[in-house]
Chain A
Amino acid sequence: MEQSAEELNKIEKKDLFTSGHRACGGCGQALAARLVADASGENTIACVATGCLEVFSSPYPDPSWRIPFLHSLFENAAAVASGVEAAYKALNKGPVNIIAQGGDGSTADIGFQCISGMFERGHNVLYVCYDNEAYMNTGVQRSSFTPLGARTSTTPMGNKTRKKNMPLLAADHGIPYVATATVDDFRDLQRKVKTALSIEGPKYIHILAPCPLGWGHHGELSVQICRLAKDTGIFPIYEIIHGKVSNVRKIPVKVPVEEYLKLQGRFKHLFKKGQPTPEVAEIQEIANQNIERFNL
């Protein structure tokens, strides 16, 4: 459905994902889930993978969801959503927004196969990834989204590998819409959800969702950390519409990655007596590559 620029840019507050859930203070994922639900509207079915979101928002008697909600397991939110979409087609019902949602593992690790299948078969489903860069629900173990250098409970010496680039992997399936977003810019995030839902076919939105517990920062810094992730070039903001990179967010004033890393306990070991270790230069290099690649 075509929407006017005014409609797309309006911030939606419908309370379809209510307060009173059990997320930690400053949880990026809780904020993102609310923005996504409110942008999608009442005519939406949420298929949610196991993870923090499901655990803190679904327990009886105080679930937060005021839209239909299906929960399965880590690996299969995309498959469940494929089934929902196929059933709606077979029953000749709809139109309805079908949104599959998951975290790191559900998206990039155990769930990757089901997502790839959903993209390739061309289901009319929006997949939203809440990226908090580790398995937070089970106690902060590394995922393939864990960035270089970050300490987790299974990488006690710091992670040795680079983060998997899921938005580009999604785009390479040839799906019509891919976007990245962060939780500090409500208008941008909701505009992307609404844009995605107006397009027929598989869509993918990748949202950086800071986790105060796992990242080791104060809850009130979650929004600031998102801004720094963007302004350092660590997390580029863009859309890929029918294969073409568009609407890239330009960095107003470039910030060195140290400003981003220093706010977070998981990178503390990268600074010895205030001096950065060689890994910091490597992380700066990753940010520089992003800046060059997307012309940030």
Chain B
Amino acid sequence: MGKILMKGNEAIGEAAIRAGCLNYFAYPITPQSEVAEYLSRRMPEVGGVFLQGESEVAVGYMLFGAAGCGARVLTTSSSPGISLMSEAISYISSAELPVVFVNIVRGGPGLGGILPSQADYFQATKGGGHGDYRLLVLAPSGVQEAVDMVMMAFPLAEKYRNPVMILGDGLIGQMMEPVEFSDHLKSEPSNKDDWATNGMDTRNRKERNLVKSLFLDAELLEEHNLVLKAKYDRMKQEEVRYEPYNLETDYRALVVSYGTMSRVCKTAIDNMKAEGIEVAMIRPQTLFPFPIDPIRAAAAKDGCQAAISIELSMGQMVEDVERSVQGKCPVHWHGKAGGEIPTPEEVVDVIKSLIK
């Protein structure tokens, strides 16, 4: 199958089917309702299930139930919907169930707007729900990468028995781009016996699986949290992904940007190159784990006068950029949060104002 032109939301739905996910639960919300509309048509064709919940709260626990019996499950939503699911995300994380969440982010806070935004960075990478949990967060910058990340998200969720979130934005959901789909994955997780509830089937194993998150005993809860922490530490070792851009030059500034915003930054960097000004970029593809070491190394390079976090928010990722750079050079922020995307010219002006 060659390339086809597809809307981001529909491509995400198709990718889920290719990834062997036959269980999709969702509730409509702009700008991602097309995923539900697409899968309401497609799931019956492949023998899968689409259930429209009565709310995102219900959807969160439909995921809990289905994942708890070993099914590969997906939901898609947008910012306010993810807020409603945040309780379930905390419980799913504690019960160590593999679930894939797609957040097609819109502007906030509150009802905000329906235009693209990256203002859910904190919610995705630092919690949102309660307790010591982490999501593995993937950030696509286009429709093809969103498809690839959906394919990647299910095996990652199953490898770590942890929820994975794909943090897109309204632009990626709504725009059309040519995409290519890879081969189908098998529709059942190979290691589901590790977590699926199986009642009293004790013939083949020593312990029964209980899906739960209550540990009243302090020692047991401590132990449980240490198990979770070990997983998050392993993600930091094994799952950091980023794209370097123009990093091989003698750059004068380092841009850190992801998703839709990073595409504008690339154009800005190309335009400055044509003027003889070299600027480099690191585009995190995983927001947790964050590419701390590559950013520090890049910021420490001789001649790098500034690190600039450019994001569609009022300054969220910049906090992670600061803790990555660790004072090797000054750190700045530039962004917008109303739904407009800064133009390449605006980005060029910002960078020029920060370098000599």
Contacts and interface: CB of A to CB of B under 8 A. Distances in A.
Interface of A: 50, 71, 73-75, 105, 108-110, 112, 135, 138-139, 141-142, 144, 153-157
Interface string B129-150: 0000000000000000000000
A109 B80 CA distance: 16
Contact of B37 (A50, A105, A154, A157): A154
B197 interface: no
B209 interface: no
B40 to A, nearest CB: 4
Contacts of B33: 138-139, 141, 153
Given A139-B33, A153-B37, A109 B111 contact: no
Contact of A155 (B40, B54, B57, B111): B40
B190 interface: no
A50 B41 CA distance: 27
Interface residues of B, number: 20
B29 A138 contact: yes
Interface of B: 27-30, 33, 36-37, 40-41, 44, 50, 52, 54-57, 80, 84, 110-111
Nearest to B44: A157
Contacts of B55: 74-75, 105, 109-110
Contacts of A153: 33, 37, 40
A105 to B, nearest CB: 8
Contacts of B110: 73
A110 B52 contact: no
B40 A138 contact: no
18 contacts: A71-B111, A73-B80, A73-B110, A105-B54, A110-B56, A138-B30, A138-B33, A141-B28, A141-B33, A141-B36, A144-B54, A153-B40, A154-B28, A154-B36, A154-B37, A154-B40, A154-B50, A156-B40
Nearest to B39: A154
Given A73-B80, A139-B33, A109 B54 contact: yes
A110 B37 CA distance: 19
